[in-house]
Amino acid sequence: MGHGIAQVAAQVAKSQVYLTDVKQEYLDRGLRMIDDSLGRFVRKGELTEDDMVEIKKRIHSTLSLKEALREADIVIEAAPEEVQLKCQLFSEVDRIAPQRTIIVSNTSSISITQLAAATKRPEKFCGMHFFNPPQLMKLVEIVRGVKTSDETIQTVKEFAERMGKDTVIVNRDTPGFIVNRILLPALNEAIFLVEEGVAEPADVDKAIRLGLNWPMGPLTLLDYIGLDTTLSIAKVLLEETGDPKYRASSLLKQMVRAGLLGRKTGKGFYDWMEKK
């Protein structure tokens, strides 16, 4: 989701954005996806070609974390949902970034307090959970850790609003925050319907879109989120709460093992290569 968040910060908030990753190929892919997304806005008449050029000028890509953080006011992390990986990254960011810099995580399930403990500035650390795709989805969950200051929450809220987002404040650092606490059991149940042969994916999605007025069906949404990300979230929720309603279905586990992760791999519950 990093490229989408970077795009919104540059496009809507008009911020200077530094996009960084561990390999040039990942940066190049992110920039291509930004080009593709901006191109869609141009074709829809929501942006001009000149707008697109100006937005792209505000996005700077670099493999150097030091360069990316040199003048950063806010750092938004969008690494995979792995606690150790994120903590290592935050420890390095904390060492390099200016003391004034606020650090936020786009995690969808991991404890903000736990992640903040990897830094020496937990009062300047909070969750800023975007929804996929960030270019279109309006909501941002702002999550308070045990030591997060009111000033940090207010600053991040104001920045989210500059990005054109509506915000909710999660006052207690609970696994899955608000949306995923409710969403994960629903997504898991949709997978069970397919696993048990109750209905085909397209009919499950159609039923929920028309019956519950969801903008997209749960299995399409899973392909957008990524089945590996969904499994990681389910594992965190099950471990942290002990509630069996978060136990991932066997089909979800099998699809992740098979590399059928959704749009990012070209195939999940649907064949996205054909759609492209």
Same structural domain for residues 142 and 227? no
End residue of a domain, out of 138, 170, 202: 170
End residue of a domain, out of 170, 195, 211: 170
Same structural domain for residues 188 and 242? yes
**Chain-wide mean pLDDT for the chain?**
94
Same structural domain for residues 163 and 47? yes
pLDDT one-digit tens code per residue, 40-61: 999 999 999 999 999 999 999 9
Residues 99 and 79: their CA atoms lie apart, in Å, by 22
Number of domains in the chain: 2
Same structural domain for residues 55 and 135? yes
Enclosing domain of residue 20: 2-170
Residues 19 and 5: their CA atoms lie apart, in Å, by 10
Residues 174 and 110: their CA atoms lie apart, in Å, by 9
CATH number, domain at 185?
1.10.1040.10
Same structural domain for residues 94 and 208? no
Same structural domain for residues 125 and 160? yes
Q: Which pTM value belongs to this model?
A: 0.85
Catalytic residues: 108, 129, 141, 180
Same structural domain for residues 44 and 69? yes
pLDDT one-digit tens code per residue, 138-166: 999 999 999 999 999 999 999 999 999 99
Give yes or no for a contact between 3 and 31, defined as CB atoms under 8 angstroms apart. yes
Same structural domain for residues 163 and 48? yes
Same structural domain for residues 154 and 204? no
Distances (CA, A) of 263 to 2, 233, 251: 16, 18, 17
Q: What is the mean pLDDT of residues 30-48?
A: 95
pLDDT one-digit tens code per residue, 64-113: 999 999 999 999 999 988 899 999 999 999 999 999 999 999 998 899 99
Same structural domain for residues 132 and 227? no
